[in-house]
Amino acid sequence: MPDALHNPAPAFLTIDHRAPAAVRDLLIEAEGCLKAGFLTGGTVCAQRAIQALLNHEAAEGATLEARLQALAHKYPSVPQSLFALCIRLGEAASKDHPTLDGDRLKVLAVALKMMLYEIYVLGPDRIDRLKYLQQMLEACESGSKSSAA
């Protein structure tokens, strides 16, 4: 575990306001359940957070895995390992073991937070940076054309 006194928490651990409210609320509830030792409630909330994300993004498919793969195709810049963790822990929680243990629930919660950060924070920031660069390039090119004339 990171030392909170010496190392501030990574930005992705704080759920940004740009993430869908339904997903945010369910993930916060999952973490609250985890802290209180309610692993069944935490597992259900984490699973519902995944479903809410998939619904919000209109990711279609017959199974959780298919829907997560559809979301992965929609956001290729998001590390595939995050989707794989959600498939592995999201499905495992609903089939063989109805409740994740505390460590696995923490892993799932962090994977979901990272996914939200990648989709709703880094993605839009990346687009803004590229637009800025494009505007700079266009200004250079228009400056070159006017000085050549």
Supply the pTM of this predicted model: 0.80
Give the per-residue pLDDT at 95: 59
Instruction: Give the angle 101-41-36 at the CA atoms, nearest 5°.
Output: 75
Amino acid at 146: S
Residue 32 within any structural domain of the chain: yes
Q: Regarding predicted confidence, which is higher, 6 or 1?
A: 6
Both tokens assigned to 1:
């575990």
Domains identified in the chain, total number:
1
pLDDT average, residue stretch 111-125: 91
Question: Does 1 score more than 60 pLDDT?
Answer: no
Cβ distance 103 to 40 under 8 Å?
A: no
Whether the CB-CB separation of 42 and 61 falls below 8 Å is answered with: no
User: Among positive and negative, which fits the CA dihedral 60, 64, 70, 71?
Assistant: positive
In terms of Cα–Cα distance, which of 112, 137, 97 is closest to 50? 112
Which structural domain range is residue 42 located in?
A: 11-148
Confirm if 68 and 86 have CB atoms less than 8 A apart.
yes
86 in a domain, yes or no?
A: yes
Residue 3 located in a structural domain: no
Digit-coded pLDDT (tens) for 66-114: 999 999 999 999 999 999 999 999 876 555 667 899 999 999 999 999 9
- Residue 85, classified by CB atoms within 10 Å of its CB into exposed (0-12), middle (13-18) or buried (19+), is buried
- The tens digit of pLDDT for each residue in 36-72 reads 999 999 999 999 999 999 999 999 999 999 999 999 9
Residue 142 to residue 122: CA distance in whole angstroms: 30
- Tell me if 130 is assigned to some domain: yes
**Is residue 57 one of the residues assigned to a domain?**
yes
Mean pLDDT score, 106-129:
90
